[in-house]
Structure 1
Amino acid sequence: MDKDNDEIFKLHEKHNGVLGIEPDMEIKNKSDLGKAYTPGVASISKLIEAHPDMKDRLTMSGKLIAVVTDGSAVLGLGNIGPAGGLPVVEGKALLYKDLAGVNALPMTVSQVPTKEFVETIKNISLSFAGIHLEDIAAPRCFEIEEALSQVLDIPVYHDDQEGTAIVVLAGLINAAKVVGKPLKNLKVVINGVGASGLATAKLLFAVGIRHLTLVDLYGVIQGTDSRYNHYQTDFVNQAGLKVSGKTLDEVIDHQDAFIGLSTSKVLNQSQVKRMAANPIIFALANPVPEILPADAHQAGAGVVATGSSQYPNQVNNILVFPGLFRGLLKSGIKKVDYRIEAVVAQALAGMIEVPTSEKIVPGVFDQDVVKTITAAVVNSASTNAVNQHQPATFKDRDHDVISVL
């Protein structure tokens, strides 16, 4: 065990994790006890019995979200099980509280069948104001989010899907400005079309980027390829994506942007040189990107982003989820749809007044990120009809382009 890991283990062991529960009132005497607990809560319970919606005003259910995983796709570690996933959701809960003042409870659910997983969350949902799904493998994550969005009247958000899509779009908005190309005219290849890649493709399509090429394990995704799950092929068919070529190498020529949500070292300098002038490279695999930034720049890349804090332009979900959920709780919005995702991406991009090749998104610790995103979500509630589209589905290839960009 190296020194850094030893320090991490000691810190987490010392505190039994990184999260605790703090009271919002003090109990100093019998009067306080009677107001906080029995007999005072009896009247609260009777009122909620008659008016169930009052629970969100009179209990912490109105300000508490559940951060839930089954541990089937944890970071770059893969399927390490529910217990193995617990440190990640605990860390996310800490970030919610520390960065946005949002109360979050880390939870794990065993890797039971999808229907049973959904029933489990549904059965405990009255305790929460929202559900944050985390580190659940595709296509199971699509099925779970879609089902929960249909049966719950609270926001359901999968950070690996919506969070990634939002921050990628934010970065792409500013990267397009840096290289002097219209966002909606970009030719984009997405390498890695799991949870994050498919959600990113859907959001880019929703804001009007039509020239998309999706590449995954077996090469370019075609609508008739039975090796891919139906969520992948359905999107390709419904979006009308028709691409000549079977591999990344065959379709990389003249692409304006490469978005890697896959694995290390799958893009090389020769391929970058064959892309359009000043290509945009988002090499987001962790811990080693699809191509090292220095190699991409040397091959002519105009903008390079990664998922790592080691390099400029860290495209990281932490920029999104704290402010997004704070905004959802403040506004009462019940669904995270494409319009809200686009609004948040635009707000995040707008924090960089003059984008450069070294600065297309705010830093993780830049001031006002949470405040800016919260305000964008709250404002969106009064300017557009929301809650009509669930992000886990994509049925209309001819629907109106999101007009916020």
Structure 2
Amino acid sequence: MSGDGNKVSFSEREALFYHETIRPGKIEIVASKPMATQRDLSLAYSPGVAAPVEAIAKDPAKAAIYTARSNLVAVISNGTAILGMGNLGALASKPVMEGKAVLFKRFADVDSMDIELATEDPEAFINAVALMEPTFGGINLEDIKAPECFIIEQALRERMKIPVMHDDQHGTAIIAAAGLINACHLTGRKMDEVKVVVNGAGASAIACTSLIKSLGVRHDNVVMCDSKGVIYIGRDNVDQFKSAHAAHTDARTLEEAIEGADVFLGLSVKGALTQPMVKKMAPKPIIFAMANPDPEITPPEARAVRPDAIIATGRSDYPNQVNNVLGFPFIFRGALDVQATAINEEMKIAAAEAIAALARERVPEEVAAAYGKNQQFGTEYIIPAPFDPRLIERVSSAVAKAAMDSGVAQSPIKDFDAYRHALKVRLNPTTSVLSQVFEELKRNPKRVVFAEAEDEVVLRAAIQFRDFGYGTPVLVGRTQAVLDKLVELGIEDPESYEIQNSATSIYVPEMVDYLYKRLQRRGYMERDVRRMVNQERNIFASLLVALGHGDAMISGVTRPFAQTMREVQMVIDPKQGQVPFGIHLMIGKDYTVFLADTTINERPSAAELAHIAKETAAVARRLGHEPRVAFLSFSTFGNPSGKWLEPIREAVAILDAEKPGFEYEGEVAPDAALNPKVMANYPFSRLSQPANVLIMPGLQSANVSAKLLRELGGNATIGPMLIGMEKPVQIAPMTSIAPDLLQLAVLAAAGVVG
């Protein structure tokens, strides 16, 4: 269950393009200290490093203070069991290990380096990894075949005084155990009474079996099967790892073992569990069909014969996904934070119980909104959503405490309330909410019109939109030109894409009639309207959305924003009583700033500034932030004075009268809105913390600021996002690349902005 498990079909060319574009691979090293001056370099290297070197030599524990070791994990493989693809070698495993490093950073802010070792000799592998102990705070073993993985992990745990975990074993085990705890809770079962059949005897299956026994499942109540049948006491040709779980039983096949079983844990192959077998299970059977990428039995197949079953799989397109990303980032986070010498059984149990307990709690509104209304504890929600922002706080703190209680923590946490708060604010909530938005769109796919489909960048975004399961891209362009470009991009079935060509579309008469009724009193003849429909792609695309043939629209790559906006407004109006405007999101590691209006209103009035502030604050809330609004100016509370301050002051007065339910202040210069030291000079300011919603006084300053930050800031930028139109329309910058377009298309289709 290391991967998503959800089968997503995309072209090989697109996958390769993703890994090569921007810069090769998925990770880079970024300095965490200033490196601009000679003094910086002297402190970073020679002679400045002498002081920490001497301090660490005297006291090795100081390495946690003066180096990155205490937040650095190695992701190590020899490529002998790559994501279900088998033994493809160490070098071929590198994309997977880089991906694992990305997940560590994304979910738990753990720095990670991938290491691929070109050996299948367990002893050579063990020696190589053990020698790296001074470098890393933890070791994540990955994609190593059984039984060597057992030998390697055990030897390294004995030799190294840092956490070592083979995630393919224990990650899956921890999440499955959490699900089993909750499934037993729902069905009124006790752990020491359930009868379990485990199908599969590889690394994950053996780890799952060991962990559920640690949680109370009795050894005598577990039957394990491999490809040759039941592993029973006395069976020949069974290695020591399987024999530890050999059962006293007369059953010799899975079909015989499954009769009357309460639980099926499948870590084997597609189709291993049949409907007749499911019928033989006990009432309210618990079925964890975790084969990757296709389960032993699908939930619809199982439920067809046993509607009372609780079912989990490794796939995200079914409820109750057993996904390792719920565990390993937070387990290592907690272990690193107390400088644990190991990840022991107590820490794994603590992680499983914390994950299970989280699923039983009320789901936060932002998670429920992203995943659907039914995401509350029950038969289809026994495992938390992978992007639940509470995971880092709950699981990491539980693991850290278990490390302390079990005696493996070298740096115990003194104030757990402070630690939980530090975990909670460690990651930017925007990333979590955006991930939830993407997942929800998979559950409710939409039709998005890509207005410039002859452009390669646009077409790549459209291909990814379909490949990743977000919905149907409606491609606007000349039919043959789009088909040729699809072939050029490696699409094997270009005819399967919907192409809308104004020269041949059946919707043109309807479009002409609709648009002529809109424009006939604005000086346009019917022939003018027909020409626009036939020749202007943005007008044609906008009409597709206006007439309900698409749910949202993305454009802007081939024409300036202002021109595209004029063409869109020929067809689609602003929402009643609203002013359209644009927002840029500037996303850092642990913060997001919303900047508005950056695209449309050259000199907003006081009422427009107030409206923009309220609508931007609403977007901030939808993306997981409590808005703190600052109306920016060259002046801070009248110093210096100037003629453009009155609209800002009037906008603040409007909010004073309306009491909008969020913090706001103005007029303030950027440093008085963002720098705590400068903010301290104004104790009367209504901002409790630095602002995260910045309302600009005019388009010139807003657009210049947004583009400067995008080019020089080095942080992720989303936008501009168009707000306030009757239909979801997004106009991307002409410099956009495919991921930018995809992100805007998803946000528009999901209704987060617009």
Q: Same fold (TM over 0.5)?
A: yes
Q: Identify which of 400, 425, 436 aligns with 1:378.
A: 400
Contact 2:70-2:339 at 8 Å conserved across structures: no
Moved more, 299-308 or 321-330: 299-308
Q: Identify the residue that residue 110 of structure 1 maps to in structure 2.
A: 118
Q: Identify the residue that residue 76 of structure 2 maps to in structure 1.
A: 68
Q: Identify which of 351, 360, 364 aligns with 2:382.
A: 360
**Cα offset for 1:230?**
1.2
Q: Identify the residue that residue 260 of structure 1 maps to in structure 2.
A: 266
1:203-230 C-alpha deviation (Å, 9 max, x unpaired): 1111110111100121111233332221
Q: Identify the residue that residue 184 of structure 2 maps to in structure 1.
A: 176
Match runs of 1:12-51 below 5 Å: 12-14=19-21, 15-51=23-59
Q: Identify the residue that residue 392 of structure 1 maps to in structure 2.
A: none
The letter of the residue matching 2:271 is: K
The letter of the residue matching 1:75 is: L
Q: In structure 2, how many angstroms separate the alpha carbons of the residues matched to 1:78 and 1:17?
A: 22
Moved more, 208-217 or 362-371: 362-371
**Cα offset for 1:92?**
0.8
Q: In structure 1, how many angstroms separate the alpha carbons of the residues matched to 2:198 and 2:170?
A: 16
Q: Identify which of 102, 116, 139 aligns with 1:131.
A: 139
Q: Identify the residue that residue 335 of structure 2 maps to in structure 1.
A: 328
Moved more, 318-327 or 6-15: 6-15
Label 1:76 to 1:27 Cα distance change in 2 as closer, same or farther (>3 A).
same
**Cα offset for 1:45?**
2.2
Contact 2:140-2:165 at 8 Å conserved across structures: yes
1:124-174 C-alpha deviation (Å, 9 max, x unpaired): 221000100001011100000000011100010110111111101000011
Contact 2:262-2:286 at 8 Å conserved across structures: yes
**Cα offset for 1:355?**
2.8
Moved more, 319-328 or 204-213: 204-213
What SS does the corresponding residue of 1:304 show, helix, strand or coil?
strand
Q: In structure 1, how many angstroms separate the alpha carbons of the residues matched to 2:17 and 2:244?
A: 48
Residues 1:276 and 2:282 aligned together: yes
Rg: which structure is higher?
A: 2
Q: Identify the residue that residue 158 of structure 2 maps to in structure 1.
A: 150
Unaligned 5+ segments in structure 1 are 388-405
Q: In structure 2, how many angstroms separate the alpha carbons of the residues matched to 1:45 and 1:173?
A: 48
Q: In structure 1, how many angstroms separate the alpha carbons of the residues matched to 2:341 and 2:282?
A: 41
Q: In structure 2, how many angstroms separate the alpha carbons of the residues matched to 1:154 and 1:235?
A: 28
Q: Identify the residue that residue 350 of structure 1 maps to in structure 2.
A: 357
Moved more, 285-294 or 52-61: 52-61
**Cα offset for 1:31?**
1.2
1:70-114 C-alpha deviation (Å, 9 max, x unpaired): 111111111111112111111110010111100010111112311
Q: Identify the residue that residue 313 of structure 1 maps to in structure 2.
A: 320
Contact 1:117-1:144 at 8 Å conserved across structures: yes
1:46-85 C-alpha deviation (Å, 9 max, x unpaired): 3333333322321222221100011111111111111121
The letter of the residue matching 2:67 is: T
What SS does the corresponding residue of 1:127 show, helix, strand or coil?
coil
Label 1:58 to 1:226 Cα distance change in 2 as closer, same or farther (>3 A).
farther
Q: In structure 2, how many angstroms separate the alpha carbons of the residues matched to 1:145 and 1:279?
A: 34
Q: Identify which of 222, 230, 245 aligns with 1:212.
A: 222
Contact 1:156-1:336 at 8 Å conserved across structures: yes
The letter of the residue matching 2:383 is: V
The letter of the residue matching 2:301 is: D
Q: Identify the residue that residue 395 of structure 1 maps to in structure 2.
A: none
Label 1:126 to 1:385 Cα distance change in 2 as closer, same or farther (>3 A).
closer
**Cα offset for 1:22?**
1.1
Label 1:80 to 1:172 Cα distance change in 2 as closer, same or farther (>3 A).
same
Residues 1:195 and 2:203 aligned together: yes
Q: Identify which of 26, 46, 60 aligns with 1:52.
A: 60
**Cα offset for 1:3?**
4.8
Q: How well do the aligned residues superpose, as a CA RMSD in angstroms?
A: 1.6
Q: Identify which of 78, 95, 108 aligns with 1:87.
A: 95
Q: Identify which of 207, 225, 233 aligns with 1:223.
A: 233
Q: In structure 2, how many angstroms separate the alpha carbons of the residues matched to 1:192 and 1:311?
A: 22
Q: In structure 2, how many angstroms separate the alpha carbons of the residues matched to 1:52 and 1:165?
A: 34
**Cα offset for 1:4?**
4.5
Residues 1:163 and 2:158 aligned together: no
Unaligned 5+ segments in structure 2 are 1-8, 361-375, 410-754
**Cα offset for 1:385?**
4.0
Q: Identify the residue that residue 242 of structure 1 maps to in structure 2.
A: 248
Label 1:136 to 1:3 Cα distance change in 2 as closer, same or farther (>3 A).
closer
Contact 1:331-1:377 at 8 Å conserved across structures: no
Residues 1:369 and 2:384 aligned together: no
Q: In structure 2, how many angstroms separate the alpha carbons of the residues matched to 1:221 and 1:131?
A: 32
**Cα offset for 1:278?**
1.3
The letter of the residue matching 2:46 is: T
What SS does the corresponding residue of 1:153 show, helix, strand or coil?
coil
Q: In structure 2, how many angstroms separate the alpha carbons of the residues matched to 1:207 and 1:223?
A: 23
Q: Identify the residue that residue 559 of structure 2 maps to in structure 1.
A: none
What SS does the corresponding residue of 1:185 show, helix, strand or coil?
coil
Q: In structure 1, how many angstroms separate the alpha carbons of the residues matched to 2:250 and 2:230?
A: 9
**Percent identity for Structure 1 against Structure 2:** 38
The letter of the residue matching 1:246 is: R
Which structure has the higher relative contact order (CA within 8 Å, separation 6+)?
Answer: 1
Moved more, 346-355 or 269-278: 346-355
1:272-319 C-alpha deviation (Å, 9 max, x unpaired): 000101111100011111011101011115201100111111011110
TM-score (norm 2): 0.49
Q: In structure 1, how many angstroms separate the alpha carbons of the residues matched to 2:64 and 2:130?
A: 17
Q: In structure 1, how many angstroms separate the alpha carbons of the residues matched to 2:78 and 2:250?
A: 38
The letter of the residue matching 1:59 is: T
Q: In structure 2, how many angstroms separate the alpha carbons of the residues matched to 1:136 and 1:333?
A: 24
Q: In structure 2, how many angstroms separate the alpha carbons of the residues matched to 1:226 and 1:60?
A: 49
**Cα offset for 1:386?**
5.0
Contact 1:223-1:234 at 8 Å conserved across structures: no
Label 1:157 to 1:36 Cα distance change in 2 as closer, same or farther (>3 A).
same
Q: In structure 2, how many angstroms separate the alpha carbons of the residues matched to 1:352 and 1:44?
A: 44
The letter of the residue matching 1:222 is: Y
| Pairs aligned (count) | 382
The letter of the residue matching 2:167 is: D
What SS does the corresponding residue of 2:132 show, helix, strand or coil?
helix
Q: In structure 1, how many angstroms separate the alpha carbons of the residues matched to 2:236 and 2:89?
A: 28
**Cα offset for 1:254?**
0.1
What SS does the corresponding residue of 2:223 show, helix, strand or coil?
strand
